[in-house]
Each structure stands twice: as C-alpha cells, then as structure tokens.
Amino acid sequence: MSMTDIVSAMNSTLGTQIGLVLFVSVFLVVVVRMFRRGNSVAHRRFASLPLSEARVVSTGAAQKGASNGGT
Amino acid sequence: MTSLAAPERWDDAARSGLEQTFTYDDAIVRQFMWVTVLWGVVAMAAGLFIALQLVLPELNLGIEYLSFGRLRPLHTNAAIFAFVGNGMFAGVYYSTQRLCKARMWSDALSNLHFWGWQAIIVAAAVTLPLGYTQGKEYAELEWPIDIAIALVWAGCFGVNFFMTLVKRREPHMYVALWFYIATIVTVSVLHIFNSLSVVAAPLKSYSVYAGVQDALVQWWYGHNAVAFFLTTPILGLMYYFMPKAAERPVFSYKLSIVHFWSLVFIYIWAGPHHLHYTALPEWASTLGMLFSLMLWMPSWGGMINGLMTLRGAWHKVTVDPVLKFFVVAVTFYGMSTFEGPLLSVKSVNALSHYTDWTIGHVHGGALGWNAMLFFGMAYWLMPRLYGTTLWSRKLAEWHFWISTLGICAYWLSMQWAGITQGLMWRAFDEAGALAYPDFVETVTKLAPMYWIRAAGGGLFVVGMFMCALNLILTWRAAPKEVPEVVYSAAPLGSNGHADPVYKSDLENVIPLGKLTDEITELSWHRRWERFPLRFAAFVLAAISVGTLLEAVPMFAIRSNIPTIETVTPYTPLELIGRDIYRAEGCYNCHSQMIRPIWAEVRRYGEYSKPGEFVYDHPFQWGSRRIGPDLHRVGGKYSHDWHVRHFENPRQVVQGSIMPTYGHLLEQAVPWHEVKPTMKAMRLLGVPYTPEEIDRGTEAAQLQAATMARELETQGGYQGMGDKKVIALIAYLQRLGTDISKAPADAAAGEEPKP
C-alpha cells in the first residue's frame, strides 16, 4: 500500500480540519499568553526596545562612508 | 503565583560583569541604501516603459529584447528583489544591530551578501531580456541564478543574521526580529522547493512539477513571496522605524505578537486563491479562499498597531515627511490587505481574475506600502548614517505628495480597467450571445485607463528621482568625517539566553496541579522566544502545517488529476515551440486556462481539465489576459494567419497591442536543443522512448517541413521551414486539441504495443 493509496482513501477535508484545529489551538495559546496580567510589565519594556539604545562610550571620526571597524 | 515577568527577572544577574564596547557596521547599511535607490529607479523606469507599450505597442521599436513579455519579468524581479530586497536588507542590517546591541557577526558575510545579491540582480537584468526564463511568475530566473540566490540568501544573509542573534547583548528578541526570522526561514523554503528543476542546458531547465501540481507549488511560492518577502520584513521595519521616528513605543506589544503568529500560520495556506475556477481541485481553492479571509484580521491588527503607535504624535505628522510616508505606507498596507481577501472571494475573483484589477492591487502593495515605507525609512536613516540633516525637507514633502498622487492614480485606474474588462468579458446581449465577441474590443476600451496608469506611474518615477536627488545632496552636504560612535553594553551571561525555569509555588495541590500551573505559566514559550534557532524551528513548523496539508493531498490523491486517454506528449517540434513561447514571455499576457464559466466557454471553448496539463513542465496558465486565452487556440487559425500575426499583429487584428515578433520569422529553430529537451522531459516522467529521443531532431524537422508546405499552400511565406515561427505555431496549433481527439486518433501515431 503506497502513500497515494492511503491519502486517496482519506476524506479530502480531513487535512483542512486538522489544520484549523492546530491553528485555533496555537492561536489560543498565544492569545492566552499575551493577555496574562503578569506579562504586562515585560511587554511594556519590550515595546520600548527600539527606543533604548546601547550606552555611548565615545564619538570618534571616520572618513565619510568608510567602513567602521568593530572592537 | 510567581510571575517571571518582573523586571529584575529579565535583567540577567550574570550580566553584571564586564561591559563590552563595540561599533555598528553602518557601511553595509549605506551600501544597501544606495543600491536600493539605484534599482528603484531602474525597476520603476522599466515598469513605466512597459506600461507605455500597452498604449504605444510600437514603442519597443521592434527590438525583441524590449518587448513586453521579456521586460515584464525584468520589471517585477527588479521591483521585488532589487528595490524592495535591498531596501529590506538596509533596514534589517541597521535595526538588527541596534536591537541586538551587537555588530553584525561577520563583516565578510555582510559584504558577500551585498556583492552576491547585486551580481544576482545584474545576472537577472542580462538573462531575462535575452529570453532565459523558467517561465514561472516571480521565479523566472534560470537554475544557476537560483542556486546563487539560495547560497547568498541562506549562506550569507541567514547565517550572518542568526549568528548576530546568537551573539546579541539584549536578552529579548524584539518582535521585528521575529518577522526577519520568518522572512529568512520561509523564503529559503519557498525558493528551494519552487525552483526544483531538471537541467537541460547551461541556461535551461524544466520544473520538476507538471500542470496542476506545478500551478499549486508556483502559487504557494508566488503568494508567499508577497507574504514573506514583501510583507513580513517590511512589517519588521515598521515595528522598528515607526517607534523611532515617532519617538513612541509600539502601541501594543501583545498585538504585535498575535499579529506575528497569526500571519505566519495563515499566510502559507492562501496561495490557491490565485487558482479559483481553474483545474485545481475545488477543495484546495476553497481552502485558499477561507484562509485568505482569515488573513484580514491579523493584517488589520498590524495596521492598527502601526497607526496607533503615532498616538500623541499626530501633530508631528503634519510637519515631518518621514511620518507622512509611514502613515500612507501603513494605510496602504491596510487597504491592500482588505482588497486581497476581497479578491480571493470566489464570486469576486470570477470577475477580477486575469484583469488589471490584480495589477492595481499588487502595485497598491508594492508602491503604496513597500516603497512608501522605504522612502520614510530613507529620509529618516540617511541623515543619521552621514551625521547630517536632510538636504531638503521641502523636496521630501513634494516627493510625498507626487508619489501619493501617482499611486492613487495608478491604483484607481487599474481597478477601473479591471472591472471594465471583467464586465465586458462576461456581457451578453439579449439574444444570449457575447456582447463583445472580439477580444480586442475589450482591449481598446482600456486605453484611457492605461494612459492614466502610465501618468500615475510616471509621477511615481519622478518622485523616485526626487528621492535620489535629495539623498545624493544630503550625502554631498554631509561633513567629510562621519562621527564613529562606540557603544557599550553588557554581554549575556552564561545563562544569558535562558530564563530560569518556572517552578510552581502552589501549595496543597496534587503534582498534576503543579505541573498544570507550570505549563500554563508558559515560561517555556518565553524561553524559546529568546533562542533564535529554536524560534526559527517553530516558525518552520508553523509554515509547514499549511504547506503539507495542502501539498500532500494535492500530490497524492489520484482523483485530483483524472487521466485523459487522448492526452499525449508534445511532438519534438511542439516542445521547442513551447520553449519559444516561454522565452518570449507569452504567459505574461495570455492565459491557458479556460474556467468553467459560461462567458469563457462561449468565448474560448470547452473549459480546461486537470488531465490536459500532465506533460506541461512548467505550467503556462498565466495570470493575466492582456490578450485572449490560448488554451483552445489550436486549429482556430491557419498557419498563415499566425505568421502574419507574429510579423505584425495589427495586420490581422486592428487595434491589437501585441508587440511585433518579426525576429521569429528570421531566426532559425535551435535544432540542437531537441534531444536535450526530450531527455530532460523523459527524466521528468514524460513517456518518450529512447528511440523517439534519438529520432527527435529528424521528427521535428519533418514536421516543420510539412507545416512549411501547408503554409505555402495557404498563400503564406516561403522558406519558413527552419524558422522559430514554425515551431511556435506547431505548439499553438496543438494547444487544447487533445481532448477533441477520438482515442484511436491519439494512438494512431504511436508504435503498436506488444
């Protein structure tokens, strides 16, 4: 019995149903997690990450457009 | 219950040791920014040129390399992979370093990525006009370039990006990085599986999939190229650059996470909505529609999150061109992601498919969403990259208004054109006959809309030049020496990538209760959120669900593609003709798929069956009807009509906007390609015998000579027996004729089987 035989014998909507169940399950887990009260503080911090730069130590000079080396 | 989200738990105690100093590699960002501007000019100018060809068909001056069919793939590839791609890389390199508080892992890989990608673009710009194409939309590039794309994308960009995440100094991976991860992982998967092909020559290959299956894989790729190349990375840029420009944190981090996971899971299912009412099985098409409708919600969640990030900063929008561009970009994201699900509804799609409405839709996304976001990013970023201010805010304002006007004119005119086309194609008179039986009537009617589209596109090109000018003058006005900033941050400690595992402190409960508490606290989720490779594996799992649940039944269920006894492989000459059809990019204007819709059956003939395409490597169903469908064109016109039509379409169809193909009447058939092509087809399962392959060239020449004699008796040109036009006509005369043969006719040409 080949894979083709097995899948051909299946109801063609079965895959869709499995997919939907998986999606809804994962979606609910994500939503539950997001809206747990305990996560609010962390999420406020994460939301500001683009605004929090690393500390500037010094500002030197380099040629316009030159590659800036690492340390 | 103890929460792990308390700030002190996130500040890793192990990081209290030595701080490290580092710089960012902004040189690579600058490089990517400049090539984005360069390729933006090229892509948009090419788009304008081919848009004008639809109202001025002689504009290609009879030069084969400048015809619509060959330049349209150049335009789309340049816009997607050169303009948006390079812009995405610039933004990703800039934001990733800042969000990770780390320099890119390898400068060498960054540079290899940059130069490798530019080499790929140049290779595409050379090969596509020369007619080297795999014949699949947005995946036209031939196999050596495909391999280079995979190496540069995954080997340079992917490795460098993931290693930067591994070496980062910021414990949490911000949501923009999640979108970048999804982009890198998914585009790799899409590109590799859609590009699988059998090589026939140094610049010629054939898709391993055929017909319906090829169509499903192609639109799984095509739609998700939109999703994971043109959407997820741009959303990542939105989540980074909008808060920066507005100086406000993102409105809702929770919403961004729901947005991310919903998008990643749902998008991958939506591809079949490109194939409604085609020979694709209905279950797959319906699935694509339902998931497309579901996409509306996360997409609008993202749009609302973007716009609401400007809360308290709307007054800045009136004076800051950067925010203006961002607002319009995000608004276009919202409009495009509303229009997309709308177009995926079967009844709407029956009207809109093959029309210019789809073209308007994709340009709303590519120009309104992608390009406008890039412009905002460029005006914000370039002054910072050169330690100066923007040369002219006023010029940026002008650019904004001209571009906005341009894209609105483009979008609306194409919607107008598309609905007009769709309605004319399906219009019947009182007697029940087609109201516009001549296809060309539905073409000439669109000329005013095409002019407006060209004008809108022209405005956008002008805006692109204004952007280039502004950025060049910003660079010229910058100080000769750009300040190099050295930063400092603590490294992640030995356990820096991991949160402590949550242990339940519930008392007086059974062990199962404690276990449930620990699982539902979901610290496991937060832990793998911080592990880039593990996170990538979960993204891969999310996209695999939809892919496998659509692809496995499609490939495995026999009833999807019922066999048709009379459908036989192409003759050697027809195969070569099919290659010419592909090289000239005919699929850019003509479909080969008659839907089971009454107006189509009346216009073109019997609707297309899945079993008719089993030898089509690649499928050539197309997605537009600038010209009529060709699936039943076989036997409809004489050889002579076809030759004159190719020589100058307006000789036989007044008002036609098809380019001239005079070169097909002059260039010789590449006879040497017959055998390698047949061998490649045999490898793919097409039942050519070794003897048939050995005699392939002679058989092709014999058929060509016979057709040339028929052409002469029809009063046509002499001496066409070795010209490309004969091979192409042989292919066209075969199209769609197999199902009208009696089984005995089909078997007549075959050797008797023992």
Option in B22, B244, B556 nearest A4 (CB): B556
Q: Which residues in chain B have their CB less than 8 angstroms from residue A34's CB?
A: 254-255, 257-258
Query: A46–B253: do the CB atoms touch at under 8 Å?
Result: yes
CB contact under 8 A, A49 and B265: no
> pLDDT tens digit string along A5-41?
666 666 666 777 777 788 788 778 877 777 776 677 8
- The shortest CB-CB distance from B489 to any of A27, A46, A55 is to A55
> Counting every residue, how long is chain A?
71
Residue in B closest to A43 by C-alpha: B253
Instruction: Name every residue whose Cβ is closer than 8 Å to that of residue B8 and which is 6 or more positions away in sequence.
Output: none
- Start-to-end Cα distance in chain B: 79
User: Between residues B280 and B726, which one has the greater pLDDT?
Assistant: B726
Which of A3, A48, A71 comes nearest B23 by C-beta?
Answer: A71
Q: Check CB contact under 8 Å for B253 and A44.
A: yes
Q: How far is A41 from chain B (nearest CA, A)?
A: 7
Identify all chain A residues contacting B28, using CB atoms and an 8 Å cutoff.
67
Q: B268 to chain A: which residues are within 8 Å by CB?
A: none
Q: Where is average pLDDT lowest: B167-181, B371-385, B390-404?
A: B167-181
| pLDDT at position B170 over 60 | yes
Interface test with B, best of A5, A23, A28, A52 (most B CBs within 10 A): A23
User: What is the C-alpha separation between B264 and B283, in angstroms, rounded?
Assistant: 22
Cβ-proximal residues to B382 (8 Å cutoff; 6+ apart), any chain: B33, B390, B471, B474, B475
* Weakest mean pLDDT among A42-46, B49-53, B159-163, B554-558: B554-558
B415-462 pLDDT, tens digit each? 999 999 999 999 999 999 999 999 999 999 999 999 999 999 999 999
Residue A11: predicted pLDDT:
66
CB contact under 8 A, A50 and B95: yes
Q: Check CB contact under 8 Å for A49 and B479.
A: no
A66 and B482 within 8 Å at the Cβ level: the answer is: yes
pLDDT tier at B362 (50, 70, 90 boundaries)? very high
B254·A29 Cβ contact <8 A = no
Considering the entire predicted model, what is its pTM? 0.89
- Which residue among B7, B28, B243 places its CB closest to the CB of A50? B243
Contacts of B671 (CB under 8 A, 6+ apart): B697, B700, B701, B722
Q: Express each pLDDT in B243-300 by its tens digit.
A: 999 999 999 998 998 899 889 988 888 888 888 988 788 888 888 899 899 999 999 9
The residues, any chain, with a CB within 8 Å of residue A36's CB and separated by 6 or more, are: B522
Q: B705: distance to nearest CA of chain A, Å?
A: 44
Report pLDDT for A57: 86
pLDDT value, residue B12: 47
Residues B298 and B304: their CA atoms lie apart, in Å, by 10
Give dist(CA B465, CA B470) in Å, integer: 9
**Chain A residues touching residue B247 (CB < 8 angstroms):** 51
Which is more confident, B499 or B492? B492
Question: Which of B257, B264, B520 is the best mutation test for A, with the most CBs of A within 10 A?
Answer: B257
Judge if ipTM > 0.85. no
